[in-house]
Structure 1
């Protein structure tokens, strides 16, 4: 199978700071499409007169769609011209957001949410670019910056989604998002350089090579499981936070819940410096402490979950732990000497968002039967599973990591 007969002409070029920032900002704007719905679920449930559990499936389907997009679209970054792929994908994003804006039936919202997730995968085409064009010394820092833009987009989308939803209704948020994607399309067209493919085989061969990477790369396998568990833990928190805060003692609406994204932004910004921590502690120890922070965050969320300060502390720490471990996971598998950066990232990110979907689904069930206590149990369980896997296998598979 020919995986690298076409050598990327861009691999010898340098990565400017301007381009890194551009990719970080666009990543945040695009990935936000997947998370506007979370603080709006209660408003959607009220308007359509459906249960909170039924509305919660919108978030689940968005994450499932994202996983499908990662699996089916992102590998094409190794086969097709990436700029052209991104521009075509953005047109599909805009169409999906407009459908969400004007949908009147629950099934339409489900379908539109699935499509929004499947098409909002552009950030995962940027991360391999940052890894591929960076020197070994700058790789963690550049990946961290792009991923910080992505995570800030996730967190701030909840803040803006909540405010816009309360002021003008939940539909207006998706209409505004469609307008933002038109702006992003113009910026990408004018400013993003082209990167040439490094895979000349068929799409079937591309997908077969993806499966082979998943089966034969232990570093990638462990990183994927850790990432899935960490993101599942965070998803459990943010999917049900709006339902928790609608009840006493808070009795607040979507705008207040969305503002917790600002608190999480502090954790995201702090995690962007994780590359410096890695230079002192090494990759495996940095991941260990990141997962420890993630698990510890649930102590605040559970024991002080009836207070604002407890929830704020929990949100800051969960975002710090997830983002720091995420950057280190990606650094670990991008260090593999393989000419398949998009496919490596596909395996990891598909696992990552499957974990997020599972966390969202189990948290919705836990909320239905055990309310906030059940949600906290789900969050802790995911964090512990990630930690156990790391302790059991990190030294065995990461001998080449510092």
Structure 2
């Protein structure tokens, strides 16, 4: 199938057609509503805000997920996720403005991240319960409004509370990610996810660099002026382009979804494998970027804070490589993409162990490698997990994000301790060990095992997704053919039995009629013997 990002949408009134590989589990909700004879599209958000007619859900003409909408998801994620990272370069300015110590002001990033974890658990799961268009628009509006409070407040306690709340509501990217998986064609799902994830990476880099540069020349409050202005623009843009999509899990309850998420975390081998890979992956990433400041600020480099900050721009390479990496993952079975990424991750950390404190070129290579291959791991894992249960994508994504959060805490705490106590090389060796653990977990469960197999290999080693999809299609067609053949044989036997029974009935009827005739003939003969012949009677009368 051609790329949905480049092909034009179908004409008005024309139904979209696709090959069998595009008939995926993601259409289950839409198909269920299409089967409803009296389906009526929702025309208003929040009960009063009209939905543009071309964005209303229509089962017969599903939303077209092209490059513009995919990029919109990515940029929305960029400017919303940036809320979590604006504060990091501004801590010194915060301490001066609010007249608090560095130790006190250092709690702000922690408050934001804790709020984000709470939002992942309690809010992002709503993506499996309610319509996501109004949910996303509402969350962006709340984040923008909270940014107004951050830009104007003069009370440090209020500032801390607002930081926590903005972390709670900054879960829009984690609702957009499963929605992109629902809207994108299956053969382009990894590409769509990689574009959204690259937007999140861009948000992290942009927030740190932009906040640092602005605060260097003007007040830190200008950062939040810009933040709420951009987010209000994003809110309006999403209202104009974000298609409506039906709610999933009708009849479910919020607490039922939370309980279901807890069950998924211990009953889905693919999801558990993704969690066990995501934790050391995030730990490696955070350990590297936290200790990089110490490495570049000390001998032999002795770089200034500005130069160290510019190293974050190297991560832009990962953003640029997102689309080709997504297409590569789309062409492979996700397991093989994970293996490739884990091996490359290990090689990156080998370079880190060998030369990170010797030559700055090694540092640049490691910066690029960690960004690119971590993103590749994340996209491949997310693609595989999202194929398990379309109705639970938001909850499964929340579980993966919580595992990343755990990994970040582990990388920050353990990595910083190892670096300060033992130096850059042991800290790099720790990353190498974690990346080796990632590969071990991937290899423990083969690429084609059944859904509920925890450890082992089965089903061969076919690498190309198209071959696997084609084989599954052939197996399904063969199964359907066998069922039809068995059904035809059954019908033939039933018809033959019916003919036999009809023939037996006819034979029985014929025999019965013959017996009746014989009986009538016998009675007639008997009556003839009892009566004298008419000729003899006539003769006697004459005499």
TM range (shorter): 0.7 to 0.9
CA contact 1:228–1:351 (8 Å) conserved in 2: yes
For residue 173 of structure 2, the aligned residue among 119, 123, 138 is: 123
Deviation at 1:184, TM superposition (A): 1.3
TM, length-normalised to structure 2: 0.65
Paired residue for 2:11? none
Distance 1:381 1:14 in 2: 44
The structure with higher relative contact order (CA 8 Å, sep 6+) is: 1
Paired residue for 2:144? 94
Q: Which moved more, 1:128-137 or 1:40-49?
A: 40-49
Q: Which moved more, 1:349-358 or 1:275-284?
A: 275-284
Distance 2:417 2:337 in 1: 33
Paired residue for 2:53? none
SS at match of 1:340: helix
2:272 maps to 1:221: yes
**Bigger helix fraction:** 1
Query: Superposition RMSD on alpha carbons, in Å?
Result: 3.2
Deviation at 1:128, TM superposition (A): 1.0
Q: How has the CA–CA distance of structure 1 residues 63 and 375 changed in structure 2, closer, same or farther, with 3 Å as cutoff?
A: farther
CA contact 2:188–2:327 (8 Å) conserved in 1: no
CA contact 2:76–2:173 (8 Å) conserved in 1: yes
Q: How has the CA–CA distance of structure 1 residues 376 and 357 changed in structure 2, closer, same or farther, with 3 Å as cutoff?
A: same
Paired residue for 2:244? 194
Paired residue for 2:82? 32
Q: How has the CA–CA distance of structure 1 residues 314 and 370 changed in structure 2, closer, same or farther, with 3 Å as cutoff?
A: same
SS at match of 1:194: coil
Q: How has the CA–CA distance of structure 1 residues 247 and 116 changed in structure 2, closer, same or farther, with 3 Å as cutoff?
A: farther
CA contact 1:27–1:153 (8 Å) conserved in 2: yes
Which ranges in structure 2 are unaligned for 5 or more consecutive residues?
1-27, 34-56, 466-543
Paired residue for 1:239? 290
Deviation at 1:332, TM superposition (A): 0.4
SS at match of 1:201: coil
2:113 maps to 1:63: yes
CA contact 2:280–2:438 (8 Å) conserved in 1: yes
Q: How has the CA–CA distance of structure 1 residues 103 and 258 changed in structure 2, closer, same or farther, with 3 Å as cutoff?
A: farther
Q: How has the CA–CA distance of structure 1 residues 40 and 234 changed in structure 2, closer, same or farther, with 3 Å as cutoff?
A: farther
Deviation at 1:144, TM superposition (A): 1.5
TM, length-normalised to structure 1: 0.86
Q: How has the CA–CA distance of structure 1 residues 102 and 340 changed in structure 2, closer, same or farther, with 3 Å as cutoff?
A: same
2:262 maps to 1:203: no
Distance 1:224 1:175 in 2: 37
Q: Which moved more, 1:233-242 or 1:324-333?
A: 233-242
Deviation at 1:167, TM superposition (A): 2.5
Paired residue for 1:164? 214
Q: How has the CA–CA distance of structure 1 residues 374 and 162 changed in structure 2, closer, same or farther, with 3 Å as cutoff?
A: farther
Which ranges in structure 1 are unaligned for 5 or more consecutive residues?
none
Paired residue for 2:415? 363
Number of residue-to-residue matches in the alignment? 397
Distance 1:165 1:182 in 2: 22
For residue 125 of structure 2, the aligned residue among 41, 61, 75 is: 75
